[in-house]
Amino acid sequence: MALKILLVDHDPEWLDTANQFLTSQFYEVKSVNNGKDAQLALYNDKYFAVLINWDVKNHAGSQVLKFIRTNYPAQKVVLILDNDSIISSGTYDEEKLKKIGATEILIRPFEINALRDVLEGHQSLGDLVSNLPKKEGASPEVEVALKDEEFTSVKIDEFYSTKAVLFDIFIRLDSGRYVKILHAGDAFTKERIDKYKNDKGVKELFFHNSDRRKFIQYNNYLTKKILGNKAIPGSQKISMLKNVGDKFVQEVHTQGVKPQVIEQGKEVCATIFRFVEKQEELYKVLKDLENSDPNLFTHSFLVSLYATAIIKQFEWQSQITIEATALACLLHDIGKTRLPKELCSMSPIDMSDEQFEQYKMHPEWGVEIVEQNRYISNSVKQIILQHHECYDGTGFPHGKKGSKILTLANIVKLADDFVHYMLDDELKPTDALKKILTNPEMVSRYNSNIVENFIRVFVDPAKIQKEVSVLPSNSKIISKKAS
């Protein structure tokens, strides 16, 4: 059954446009142009969400909000402002508007797609499924011409679906040419996907970037379900978690740090926490982890995975700490979105002095991007700012040293460097670990307690090769040959 939406606005042209758009997104829409009819509609029916303009008349938007808060306190309400005058004048701020009943606030001008984004951000997986059109069997294939940058890819072996497909699925014929093989609401069968894989050699499936949130939501749900299943190998759990993490980083790097994006990121981080808590032989899984996609998104996910594994070794570790650090890791390079494209693909060692100075700005830019987002904690912001600071004072952007660096930030620094070795030098995890431990200059960048606990992620410290003698003198690990 389609989710019901109540539209309340004084502009008949916009009402018609919004009605048509939301209907095309499979919602059932009722439109009214005044507050009195809005209250009557709420009395007579139930709605998933109400989209109401502050400036409606007979009754005013503020009156309708108070009516909803009093009589339907659980109702989701998207408040639409024609401009920001009531905020800029100081009459209201976001907090006050939410106190009188607004769940989300949209300020014009905004693209019509913003309605879909804000509504989907509040939908549970059950809501998504119930809002799908009901179909028998599969729809016919349709060839379409669309820009490559409008799509997100997923390996065909790593695609999972509900019984009814949540969103349109495509295969790529050539640049700009795609075939829609599954329509939203079609019945999903693994046999059909296997046919494309085995008979036609299809290696990747594609979906619209606008459906990435749905992909993350379903796959995060699925990953949480299998974490406690001991029959499923840890490598498969990591693969599924990586899929979720990768797509979330893509989402935040393209959509920005919108509240609904960050909230979904926190759900992903909660799943990462459950993974490191439930995986009894985590060190074996991480030790054997093979890397395949050396790109920014995989990098951020792996940094998150290894950083949280390090934190788990400390006595002071907690769910809040692990989840906050995981979120910081997924966001740590968001400042790079302000760098010229050519710098993003360059290694720092290949940059000119001028380019490197620009590159060193990305931690501060990252904090600027998230600074005003109240959904992101100060500890997450500090990790983003300090993730290139070194314990010996040789890092950037501020050259902090020793205890002036947040411990969690130094953990992320170690995980970040480690993952760069894995991906850039195509090293196995244990070889990347050795490369760090046998380089005194590298080891001096990190607090010795962090290095020790990173070693424990992989093996019993007593079995570390004698090369670990480069650990700082205050290290508690005694170097000895493997027995």
The predicted structure's pLDDT at residue 277 = 78
In a domain, 231, yes or no: yes
Specify whether 147 is located in the same domain as 252.
Answer: no
Identify the CATH number of the domain in which residue 36 sits.
3.40.50.2300
**Contact criterion met (CB below 8 Å) for 22 and 29:** yes
Q: Confidence class of residue 282 from pLDDT cuts 50, 70 and 90?
A: low
Quote helix, strand, coil % in the chain, to nearest 5: 55, 10, 35
User: Does 423 or 39 have the greater pLDDT score?
Assistant: 39
| β-sheet bridge partners, residue 227 | none
Q: Is 433 found in the same domain as 459?
A: yes
- 205 and 111, same structural domain? no
My answer on whether 51 and 153 are in the same domain is: no
Same domain for 39 and 100, yes or no, is: yes
A 10 A CB-CB count for 29 gives 20
- The residue segments making up the domain with residue 152 are 142-213
* pLDDT for position 478: 39
**236 lies in the same domain as 208:** no
Provide the domain count of the chain.
3
pLDDT tens digits for range 192-224: 899 999 999 999 999 999 999 999 999 999 999
Angle (CA) 407-283-251 rounded to 5° is 65
Residue 431 and residue 421: Cα distance in Å, rounded?
Answer: 9
What's the pLDDT score for residue 284? 65
| Residue 231 shares a structural domain with residue 207 | no
- What is the per-residue pLDDT for 61? 95
| Residue 193 CA: distances (Å) to CA of 74, 175, 198, 340 | 40, 22, 9, 39
Which of residues 152, 182, 213 is at a domain's end? 213
Judgement on whether residues 168 and 31 belong to the same structural domain of the protein: no
CA distance from start to end of the chain = 64
**Structure confidence by residue, pLDDT tens digits, 313-343:** 899 999 999 999 999 999 999 999 899 988 8
- Residue of higher predicted confidence among 383 and 295: 383
Contacts of 462 (CB under 8 A, 6+ apart): 478, 480, 483
Tell me: do 150 and 78 sit in the same domain: no
Are 462 and 409 contained in the same domain? Answer: yes
Is pLDDT at 483 greater than 50 in this prediction?
Answer: no
Is 476 contained in some domain?
no
Among residues 122, 153, 178, which one ends one of the domains? 122
Instruction: State whether 282 and 418 are in the same domain.
Output: yes
pLDDT digits (tens, 9 = 90+) for 354-374: 999 999 999 999 999 999 888
pLDDT band at 242 (very low <50, low <70, confident <90, very high): confident
